[in-house]
């Protein structure tokens, strides 16, 4: 067991990048027009962006919210984007009003929590 621990520690020491403590939860549901629009306009690019590196995306269904997430209030609208750390909500964006508005608001949300969303190289 000690050897596994040492190997894991060594890999962390030489692996560039950071271990993220935050993720962006996208609460969505089937048939949601705004979710489909987000998927078309933002979805493919999101993981390639700085924001996507700071808070990797995780999708969850509005009707089947996972037990490992604690929201300050139950999401009602889709899409709802919830920034979480260790399953605890830090902040959220409700709805989608276009790509420029999304990136602006997401930037503000991430910048409000730099201790959880900073990329270290």
Helices in 20-117 by DSSP H: which ranges?
Answer: 33-41, 50-54, 99-111, 114-117
The pair of three-digit structure tokens given for residue 94, joined into one six-digit string: 């409700």
Residue 6's pLDDT is 36
Residue 21's pLDDT is 74
Share of the chain above pLDDT 90, in %: 75
pLDDT digits (tens, 9 = 90+) for 42-97: 999 999 999 999 999 999 999 999 999 999 999 999 999 999 999 999 999 999 99
**Range in 13-22, 56-65, 91-100, 107-116 the model is least confident about:** 13-22
Task: In whole angstroms, give the CA distance from residue 7 to residue 117.
Answer: 26
Q: Where are the beta strands (DSSP E) in the chain?
A: 22-28, 57-61, 80-85, 88-94
Q: What are the domain boundaries of the chain?
A: 18-117
Position 41 pLDDT exceeds 50: yes
In whole numbers, what is the pLDDT of the chain averaged over residues? 85
Residue 70's pLDDT is 95
What average pLDDT score do residues 1-26 get? 53
- 84 DSSP β-pair partners: 23, 89
Say which CATH topology domain 18-117 has. Answer: Glutaredoxin (3.40.30)
């Amino acid at each position: 067991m000690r050897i596994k621990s040492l190997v894991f520690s060594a890999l962390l020491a030489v692996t560039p990048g950071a271990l993220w403590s935050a993720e962006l939860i996208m609460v969505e549901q089937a048939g949601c027009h705004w979710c489909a629009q987000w998927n078309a306009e933002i979805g493919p690019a999101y993981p390639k962006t700085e924001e996507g590196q700071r808070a990797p995306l995780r999708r969850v269904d509005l009707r089947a919210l996972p037990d490992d997430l604690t929201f300050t209030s139950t999401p009602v609208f889709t899409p709802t984007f919830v920034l979480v750390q260790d399953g605890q909500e830090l902040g959220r964006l409700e709805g989608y009003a276009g790509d420029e508005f999304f990136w602006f608001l997401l930037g503000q949300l991430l910048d409000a929590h730099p201790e959880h969303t900073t990329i270290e190289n």
